[in-house]
Structure 1
Amino acid sequence: MAKFLVIGALALDRPVRLSGPLASGGRLLGRTLEGALAGRLGGGAANAGVALARAGHEAVVIGVLAQDSEGDACLAQAQAAGLDTRRVVRREGASRTTLILIEPGGERLVLGLDFEAAKLPSLPAPGPDETFDGLYVRAPYPGAEASVAACRGPVVAHWPAGGFAGPCDVLVASMDDCDAATLADPFGAGRAQVGERLGWMVLTRGGHSVTAYDGKRVLRATPPPAKVVDATGAGDCFAAGLLEALTAGADMASALAHACAWGAIAVTLDASAPLGGRFPVFRPGAS
């Protein structure tokens, strides 16, 4: 099995299942987790890391948690999920509260309450002899670039990359996060952000087709049918599946199909981080 590093957020999401779709002026009922807005493990690093761990890999996460009781609870849940959290940094201040509003069809809206930008400490650099088989940069925390040098395999990053200037091999973006200029030239926009090493820009559209661009070719893949229970974290599971396949030597067409399968598994789970999921390992030549 491979050793992966995932850089991004760890959090306790508070899901609320709605009685109907969100609409301006509407009135809805909501059902909370355990009837008390209890928190469940989430955040981009946890979502991708748990998927990799459920596939049998070693998943090391680097993120920032507040030094409070909620941060303690989140860390405990991440450890119980099999994530290596020894490099997680603790910061001063209180944890942020995030509501996940889930419509009956499984689509969700992420609502951060009383958001205040916190000053994030720099992430610890890998040790001189430490290496990873693959890296997913979900959030551009200060110091993320130092981990690229410790990765002997592919580097996948989430768009918009923000303060992360690369290098990386693949950028993954939701079309909803892209402006008109990016959609007009996805690969060019990606290279302008993270440099010439970029090989592919991959655009997702929820449960619809996925498109990958390398400046010359355009590849498309369609997710398999799935009953959507909760779409939270599906994009991170897609990116984790893509990284897992590329690390195993897959070409992009095969990696896209594998990633779509991982995303389809994620939407069937009533969870943010896919704790109950079973994610297949990519095997070259398997149908």
Structure 2
Amino acid sequence: MADFLVIGALALDRPVRLSGPLESGGRVLGKSLDGALAGRLGGGAANAGVALARAGHQVAVGGVVAADADGDACLALVRAAGLDTRHVIRRDGASRTTLILIEPGGERLVLGLDVEPVKPPTLPPPESDAAFDGLYVRAPYPGAEAWAAACQGPVVAHWPAGGFAGPCDVLVASMDDCDAATLADPFAAGRAQVGERLSWMVLTRGGHGVTAHDGRRILRATPRPTTVVDATGAGDCFAAGLLEALTAGADMQAALAHACAWGTVSVGLDASAPLDGSFPAFRPAAS
């Protein structure tokens, strides 16, 4: 069992299942959770953190949650999932409303309603005795760099990571989020943001597979075919699986395969945070 920290958003996602694909000029029907636009646990920190906890690890989350009723409900769900919230800050103002529009094939569109820029407060610095075996930086909250520097194991971060400047061992990016310059030389683009410590830039493309770049080699892995129920949170579960395997001493090729397996579990669930998922801990292949 390892101790992990995940820095990122904690939220109530409000899923809406659509009767057909989203098309310009089209019309579709939607079915919300409980028929009342109810919320479910989501946000990158919750998605990744729950997967790690379901694999049997101790997981703390760091982030910012509004001090309102939605924030209270969100934190209650986070704690019920077994995650440590001592590093979560409450902020003034209202929680953001996020709709998850899910097409019949399981792909989703994330729609933030009435989003106003909110400058997040700085995370408190790590305590002198803080000791985490691995860290996933899902959102670049101010102060995340200090936690990355204090982490005694691998640091995995999400791209584009905004103002996060490292230190970081692995960046994970969806190809859909990358511009042409990044795709032309992913490893160089990653190092330009987070520094020379970066060892790998990992690009994901859903069910089409992933590639990992270290400036010399390109490694590839492909998830097994599966029925996609809801793709929400799959990238976070992939990153969590990657971190979990690397923390256990896996090489990148084995870590990619493990991460793909966790992503496959996620897309088969009707959920954002994978509360009902089964995520096996990494085990080295028998020699």
TM-score (norm 1): 0.99
Q: Which residue of 1 aligns with 2:76?
A: 76
Partner residue in 2 for 1:31: 31
Q: Which amino acid aligns with 1:104?
A: P
Question: In structure 2, do the counterparts of structure 1 residues 286 and 125 end up closer, same or farther at CA, with 3 Å as the change threshold?
Answer: farther
- Aligned residue identity for 2:238: F
Q: 2: distance between equivalents of 1:249 and 1:226? A: 28
Q: Which runs of 5+ in 2 are unaligned?
A: none
| Secondary structure of the corresponding residue to residue 224 of structure 1 | coil
- Aligned match of 2:211: 211
Q: Deviations over 1:5-28 (max 9, x none)?
A: 000000000000000000011111
Amino acid at match of 1:275: L
Report the CA distance between 1:126 and its aligned residue: 1.5
Paired amino acid for 1:269: L
SS at structure 2 position matched to 1:88? strand
CA distance in 1, matches of 2:215, 2:222: 21
CA distance in 2, matches of 1:119, 1:196: 28
Query: Corresponding residue for 2:222?
Result: 222
Q: Distance in 1 between matches of 2:225 and 2:3?
A: 30
Task: Map residues 36-185 of structure 1 onto 2, 5 A cutoff.
Answer: 36-185=36-185
How large is the Cα RMSD of the aligned pairs? Answer: 0.8
Distance 1:286 1:219 in 2: 21
Letter of the structure 1 residue corresponding to residue 152 of structure 2 = R
Task: Say whether residues 1:12 and 2:9 are aligned partners.
Answer: no
Amino acid at match of 2:188: G
Deviation at 1:149, TM superposition (A): 2.4
Cα distance in structure 1, aligned partners of 2:119 and 2:92:
9
**Distance in structure 2 (CA, Å) of the matches to 1:37 and 1:193:** 39
Equivalent residue of 1:64, what SS?
strand
In structure 1, the residue matched to 2:252 is: 252
What secondary structure does 2:192 align onto?
helix
Say if 2:149 and 2:167, in contact at 8 Å, map to a contact too: no
Q: Give the drift of 1:150.
A: 2.1
> Aligned-pair distance for 1:221?
0.1
Deviation at residue 209 of structure 1 after TM alignment: 1.2
Q: CA deviation at 1:286?
A: 4.9
Please give the TM-score of this superposition, normalised by the length of structure 2.
0.99
Q: Which residue of 1 aligns with 2:236?
A: 236
Count of matched residue pairs = 287
Q: CA–CA distance in 2 between the matches of 1:277 and 1:222?
A: 20
- The C-alpha deviation readout for 1:244-265, integer Å capped at 9, x for no partner, is 0000000000000000000000
SS of residue paired to 1:87: strand
In the alignment, what sits opposite 1:276? 276
Show CA shifts across 1:47-95 (max 9, x none): 0000000001011000100010000000000001111111100000000
- Aligned residues: percent identity? 82
User: Which region of structure 1 is more displaced relative to structure 2, 260-269 or 277-286?
Assistant: 277-286
Q: Is the 8 A contact 2:3 2:58 kept in 1?
A: yes
Task: Give the letter aligned to residue 118 of structure 1.
Answer: V
Aligned partner of 1:140: which letter? P
- Offset, 1:195: 0.3
Q: Is the Cα contact below 8 Å between 2:17 and 2:32 reproduced in 1?
A: yes
Between the aligned partners of 1:225 and 1:281, the Cα distance in structure 2 is 21
Q: What is the distance in 1 between the residues matched to 2:286 and 2:58?
A: 23
Cα-to-partner distance string for 1:113-165 (whole Å, 9 max, x where unaligned): 00001121100111101110000000000000010122111000000111000
3-state SS, counterpart of residue 245 of structure 2: helix
